[in-house]
Amino acid sequence: MSVISFLGPKGTFTHEAANMIGDNLIPYCTIPAVLESVVNEESLYGVVPIENSIEGPVGITLDSLAHKFDLKIFDEIIIPINQNLIVNHGTRMEDIEDVYSHSQAIAQCQEFIVKNKIQPHYAVSTANAAKNIIGNKTKAAIGNSKAAELYGLEIIKPNIQDSDNNETRFVVVSKDDHEPTGCDKTSIIFSIYEDKPGGLYNVLGIFQKNDINLTKIESRPSKKGLGKYLFFVDFNGHRNDDIIRNIINEIQEKTYFLKVLGSYPEFR
């Protein structure tokens, strides 16, 4: 049975995502630790968040894949993020003075927190927040149903997030990417030679010329000085497809840095 590492602890949304591909799971405290476990063959796959539809990209995941780890994206998982107000059994809304959760969960539930005049506090994770309120009826946590179940708590208010269109995308990383399925995506990172008019378009125009759809483009500081960026691009197709192989070769000629993060099935 394949070992799967994930960004822990248990009871987080990453735990929920990892559970969708297996149950032989090992939690790690940081995203780099998850990726390192795959490099060291302590696990076959690692599951980490890469972007949220409201809060945007997960910078440490993008930076780690760009600079530190020679790994491939093997698959992707997208799950809706339903945030719940979690309390000890018997707690009433009027009892709650403080609420604890991960900074992103707090940000996603601002309207509820302000409306109910509850004092927010940051925690390392949603699961850690749930664990730390056990036995105190003046404290609540924000998290998923798995966290409530894991720590013997109850959900007093479900779906308290500000937006119903809240989703997080997770990537499954491995030493190899996925074989072609006929419905694939490819992720790459590149940096252009210099910041000048048309520099980025000269690369992105290659996709338009070949009628290949871009599904995402994201910029990140290259850590080589102000104004210098890496561009993360997702697009339809597998890198073993002839047209995609030709596109990657053409991009390589127009950039000084290019890394293929992998090809994998598009999540459906």
| Predicted TM-score of the model (pTM) | 0.84
34: domain range? 4-80+166-174
**Residues 33 and 68 both lie in one domain:** yes
Determine whether 154 is exposed, middle or buried from the number of CB atoms within 10 Å of its CB (0-12, 13-18, 19+).
middle
51 and 170 together in one domain: yes
Q: How many domains does the chain have?
A: 3
Q: How far is residue 72's CA from residue 60's CA, in Å, rounded to a whole number?
A: 16
Sign of CA dihedral 60, 66, 68, 70: positive
Asked whether the predicted pLDDT for residue 224 surpasses 80, the reply is no
Position of tokens 């980490």?
A: 48
Q: Does 240 map to a domain?
A: yes
- Residue 227 above 80 pLDDT? no
Mean pLDDT of 99-119: 93
Q: Residue 232: give its domain's CATH number.
A: 3.30.70.260
The helix/strand/coil state of 237 is: coil
Identify the pLDDT of residue 254. Answer: 85
Residues 143 and 205 in one domain: no
Q: How far is the C-alpha of 139 from the C-alpha of 137, rounded, in Å?
A: 5
Residue-wise pLDDT tens digits, 5-50:
999 888 888 999 999 999 899 999 899 999 999 999 999 999 999 9
How many other CB atoms are found less than 10 A from the CB of residue 252?
A: 14
The answer to whether residue 179 is domain-embedded is no
Question: Can you list the positions of beta strands (E) in 144-228?
Answer: 154-157, 167-174, 184-192, 214-221
Task: Tell whether 24 and 50 lie within a shared domain.
Answer: yes
Peptide bond into 49 cis (omega under 30): no
Q: What pLDDT score was predicted for residue 6?
A: 95
On the question of pLDDT at 223 being above 70, the answer is no
C-alpha count within 13 angstroms, C-beta hemisphere, residue 15: 19
Residues 113-137: what's their mean pLDDT? 93
Instruction: Specify the amino acid at residue 117.
Output: K
CA distance linking residue 10 with residue 19, whole number of Å? 10
Q: Check residues 112 and 200 and name the one with the higher pLDDT.
A: 112
Q: Please determine, for residue 92, whether its predicted confidence score (pLDDT) is greater than 80.
A: yes
So what's the pLDDT on residue 117?
94
pLDDT of residue 237: 95
What sign does the dihedral 3-9-11-15 (CA atoms) show?
A: negative
- From CA 258, how far away is CA 192, in angstroms rounded? 9
Same structural domain, 48 and 170: yes
Gap between the Cα atoms of 31 and 28, Å rounded? 8
Give me the mean pLDDT over the 177-203 stretch.
84
Residue 243 confidence class, pLDDT cut points 50, 70, 90? very high
Rounded-to-integer distance, Cα 73 and Cα 161, Å: 29
* Same domain membership, residue 189 and residue 144: no
pLDDT of residue 225: 59
Q: Are the C-beta atoms of residues 13 and 81 closer than 8 Å to each other?
A: yes
| Cβ proximity of 212 and 251 under 8 Å | no
Residue 76, in any domain of the structure: yes
Residue 194 — pLDDT band, cuts 50, 70, 90? low
Residues 17, 135: one domain? no
Q: Are residues 39 and 170 in the same domain?
A: yes
Q: Both 153 and 189 in a single domain?
A: no
Q: Are 180 and 60 in contact (CB under 8 A)?
A: no
Answer whether residue 261 shows pLDDT above 80: yes
Flag whether 193 is in a domain.
yes
- The pLDDT of 194-198, averaged and rounded, is 62
| Co-location of 205 and 258 in the same domain | yes
pLDDT at site 198 = 63
List the one residue out of 4, 173, 178 whose CA is nearest residue 72.
173
Average pLDDT over residues 100-122: 93
Q: Does 89 lie in the same domain as 75? A: no
Asked if pLDDT for residue 55 goes beyond 80, the answer is: no
Answer yes or no: do 25 and 94 share one domain. no
